[in-house]
Amino acid sequence: MDHDMRFADDVGRQLGDSVPVKVERVFDSCSDRDCLTNVPVVLDDGELPANIQLVKCRCVSIDDVCMRLDAVPFNRGFYNIDITFTFRVELLAYTRACETPEVMTGTVYASKNAILYGSESNALTFSSDGTSLGEPNECCGVTNLPTCHVQVVPPLALETRIASVACPGDPAICPDPDLQTTVRTVVMTLGLFSVIELTRPVTMLVPTYDYTIPTKECTAGTEAPCAVFDKMRFPTEEFSPRSLTDSDTLPGCDTCGS
């Protein structure tokens, strides 16, 4: 028996039978970087006080992401994805530079669109846990949209400044919209990285390996504390500040731009 035949025989013994598995197949996906410019901050306390002369971003966090899918006309299997991001913002508001700032909070809303392929399905799927996929429409057909997944990391605050924006009629921003057409608030420019995917549940046939159990033994940690400490690696990097050339990451939320 030559080497190739022995190798194939070994692989055959390691592999078990092929089994069907239920998975979420990604039919289409995209990654994007968006520079969201001049987005107004809806301050929790209403209009920005007149005595505030300088604002800086303290932190931006993701509060919610909502999305809507609509089939693209004349392009079967393609869907328009309308995404709305909701961010919570903490600001440092100064009446004068270098004085103790006041912490202010607000909300930022931003939207984006993408068109991806999500395939088609006319099947109604019901599960024992009470969930279902697809619903009949008025013409006795089935509307079965794919599932959209949005992955996003906390945005980078690229710019934060005071500006007057058109009053949107929201009482939280413009207490008396009949008397003023603009409102003094904070506008920001945010850098956002995101990944969007369209998936559907499918049944796929995959090869399997033999059942196995972990070879690592469970330890109860019965050693003396000093013995455990002696085995730890000395954290040399903590005593060696990194230079700019050593760093390949951008600052996080705690160093938001201003």
The end-to-end CA distance of the chain, in Å, is 71
How far is the C-alpha of 48 from the C-alpha of 64, rounded, in Å? 24
Q: Looking at the whole model, is its pTM more than 0.75?
A: no
52 and 41 in contact (C-beta within 8 Å)? no
> 103 in helix, strand or coil?
strand
The pLDDT profile of the chain, 258 residues, written as one tens digit per residue, is 555 555 445 555 555 678 888 888 999 999 999 999 999 999 998 888 889 899 999 999 999 999 999 889 888 889 999 999 999 999 999 998 888 889 999 999 999 999 999 888 776 666 666 666 656 655 555 467 888 999 999 999 999 999 888 775 555 556 565 655 778 889 999 999 999 999 988 888 888 877 788 888 777 667 787 887 888 888 888 777 777 666 555 544 444 544
pLDDT computed for residue 156 by the predictor: 92
